[in-house]
Amino acid sequence: LLSKVTFQTIKQLSSIFPIAKLCKMMKISRSAYYAWLNRPAKIITAEQLNLYRSAKVIFKESRNSLGYRELRKRLCKEGFQISEYSVKKLMTQLNLVVTQRIAYKVTTKRKHSDAVADNLLNQNFNPM
């Protein structure tokens, strides 16, 4: 799978350098570049754009912890009609990757009844 950024970079630099050399440097074929260049741009509707924006906002508010099921529930509450499969595809398109949060865990426990150790060095760490 070739990156859209690679093709856009070649397009920007094509006025300065030959396309054949740019394609060779980026390790893609010229035919792949020209196929991308002639491919029609994908047009999305205002409703899809609104869905994308809402999904990103909801996902970010959850601190990247919502899976596709919960994201679908929240989108349906906002009035979008969307299936679980569509939410999975949407998350892939928008690069929404779930990250688990690590709960804070106390690693040392001390008894408050224990006495504080004496300061034998008096902050002198080079006693010699």
Is residue 102 included in any domain, yes or no? no
Is residue 110 included in any domain, yes or no? no
Same domain, 80 and 55: yes
Q: Name the residue range of residue 21's domain.
A: 4-38
Do residues 44 and 50 make contact, with C-beta atoms less than 8 angstroms apart?
A: no
On the question of pLDDT at 51 being above 60, the answer is yes
Same domain, 89 and 51: yes
pTM of the model: 0.56
Do residues 37 and 4 make contact, with C-beta atoms less than 8 angstroms apart?
A: no
What lies within 8 Å, CB to CB, of 90 at 6+ separation is 51, 52, 55, 82, 96
Do residues 64 and 99 make contact, with C-beta atoms less than 8 angstroms apart?
A: yes
Q: Give dist(CA 21, CA 53) in Å, integer.
A: 38
Is residue 22 included in any domain, yes or no? yes
pLDDT in tens, 58-83: 999 999 999 999 999 999 999 999 99
Q: Give the pLDDT band (50/70/90) at residue 127.
A: low
Same domain, 25 and 58: no
Is residue 116 included in any domain, yes or no? no
pLDDT in tens, 30-48: 999 999 899 888 888 999 9
- Total domains present in the chain: 2
